[in-house]
Copies of this chain bind each other. A is one copy, B any other.
């Protein structure tokens, strides 16, 4: 009944409860996860991964919902991972209750899952790619990763998608704030949402000007700046721009480069999470002794790290880049 292989079979068959359960294994760091992920790896799926990020209040969840509707109309099955504490999709992350699925609740071609943004070993960099992998194995054509665009890990996770959509809204400090948060640079498509409000065109102009400052080669994708009113389903420009980027990426091989990059990040994150767990368990006493010396000022953190690596047997050249 609870066999790992059977669960994976049910995931591959697209069963929502099996998918949800396996994503819980990712969140909880279940001992059965490595075996399950090995089985999932053999069924990689072909999902196109779209990252949606932006500051709080720009309408990310509304946009996600509108994108789901549009892609469903085309016949695509769509999975959503919402790593966004301000998202209504993420209501379940707090109290463990079921996700509010809004208008997509009864659509078997849609799966929406929230993930808490804190508390997982290795962090979002280790857990989110695994959740994406599970949805891909489950046969979803498109997987949306929605993250709040304020936060180191959160922005990085959205930025590692095949195509990244950065949402902004007029009158929020706009491009300047977004640039400060480092999110303009990760957008393949930048969209000023809530374009029925005053200042939307000015915001779009401002974003275009800021993008002109960044250096790109003639072969590179040129980020597209569009506007939308997601709450009214007015997202045609966004859809066209996302399609254009997808086609560009597939034609030029940029998508393979990104997938490779994502795999590098994932393998690195999982490895570091395992080493972190080891430091917190097997090596805990050794680390505690070093920490005592650091806390008392007898040792600096770099020398402590050198000793800890020596203890681990990593003959790493831990020197800072010269």
Contacts and interface: CB of A to CB of B under 8 A. Distances in A.
Interface of A: 29-34, 37-38, 40-44, 55-56, 85-86, 90-91, 93-94, 116-119, 123-124, 129-130, 133, 148, 150-156, 173, 176-177, 179-182, 256, 259-260, 262-264, 266-268, 270-272, 274-280, 282, 287-288, 290-292, 294-305, 308-309, 312-322
A41 B305 contact: no
A84 B15 CA distance: 41
Contacts of A308: 267, 271
A33 B302 CA distance: 9
Given A117-B151, A151-B148, A320 B29 contact: yes
Contacts of A301: 37, 41, 129-130, 133, 263, 266-267, 270
A154 B182 CA distance: 14
A29 to B, nearest CB: 5
A31 B322 contact: yes
Contacts of A287: 264, 267-268
Given A152-B154, A267-B294, A272-B276, 13 more contacts: A32-B320, A37-B301, A41-B300, A55-B86, A130-B301, A150-B150, A151-B154, A152-B152, A259-B295, A260-B295, A267-B305, A268-B280, A274-B316
A201 to B, nearest CB: 23
Given A301-B266, A304-B267, A278 B316 contact: yes
Nearest to A316: B278
11 contacts: A31-B320, A31-B321, A44-B297, A85-B177, A85-B180, A85-B182, A86-B150, A148-B151, A272-B272, A275-B309, A277-B318
